[in-house]
Chain A
Amino acid sequence: MKLLFRIGIVQMALAAATPAFCQVLQIQPQTITFPSSDPDTVPVVAAAPVQVSFVRGSGRGGSGSWSITVRADGDLTAGPAQIPIASITWVAAPSPPFRDGTLSSTVAQTLASGLGSEPNTRGSVTFRLANSWNYSAGTYTQTIVFTLTSP
């Protein structure tokens, strides 16, 4: 009985010595602006690149898979006028772990994914708007949410 007791204590001590992994996600800038452009000469409008950086520690549980997703809260709106959020796509580098995609308000789209720890990973994401004469004049806004998760 004493032997079992000691083993239990040792395992408990080992587990407690391994810290739970941590993860930090940063987005910069937090405002993505598309200037007005002539659809004939600028059919695709690019915003200034967004820097996505994240740290995912190597602690206990940090060896699993992870992903960064992005989801819009809805279409772009300016009063009663709307532009479908799917009009915005992005190109991201480096690939992997980043990947290109299209914004959606219904399904979170994967921006990056991987396995294990990421000591200090940075990516550049350039959002692009499909320009059109069909858009009503106005200033449209919408919020997008970046989420770093580990299953």
Chain B
Amino acid sequence: MKRFLDWWANPWGQPRTLAVVTWLYMLWAIVPVCIAVLFSFNDGRSRSVWQGFSTRWYWGDPDQSVLHDPALRGALEQTLKLAGLAMLIAVPLGVGLAIGLTRWRGFGARPVNFLMLFPLVTPEIVMAVSLLLVFVSLYKIQLGTTAQALGQVTFSISYVVLVVRGRLLSVGRQYEEAARDLGASTLGALRLVLLPLLAPAIFASLMVVFALSVDDFVVTDYLSSNSSTQTVPIKIYSSVRGTTTPALNALATVMVVATLVAVTFAALVYRRFNKLQQGGGGAVSELAALEA
């Protein structure tokens, strides 16, 4: 007992209370998700009472499993399709914007810089409503995949700019100047030196856009047309309170696993980039810095 009290009160040790709070938080944040994943393997129809292990909700059930229910499978496909489109469009636009805004010091740079920050602080419902209204009443764009992709790109661009600009500022202008000094033209310096140096940030922003896209609910929901353009989050939202089967958990689990695999892969690649260029530096803390 005395040893325990000494350990607890050691002024040079870690503050025990904080450590306990932190670990409890971690458990609280992650265990519920793990339980939800567990119930996706439930043999029965309940999402709260364990009835044995089975993979029926993934592929076993001929009608209601993720693999065989067209609504669930469609949601998965639509989610990935939108994520692909968003990455493909938002990343080049954002990279261009980041490079342009850091290098361009003239009239117009300031307002665009300011405008770029707004999507980050606008509540999603405000953005969703405004996009819905403008598509319906001004641009006459059919709701559905196109509208959803346009919406997702709009809120993703700013994140790409933040990630890429952070890297640009830390890289500085010296490498470009060195390239110019050694005979490369402005565009040559950009292609041969700046883009390779930005590669980790571009890669990271692809991941960020992927995560934003597959997680997005509000904008995607407002701009969806009918059940054929429902994504996984929409599907969860619309059926979670009804009488539903663990197939919903299975659907969500597939998404979680897909995201985690992509992110782990990304972290490994990112670390490799960094090793080559800066001699290490934790990929994890880098990614943490990115999110913040």
A, B bound:
no
Enumerate chain A interface residues (CB-CB to B < 8 A): none
Enumerate chain B interface residues (CB-CB to A < 8 A): none
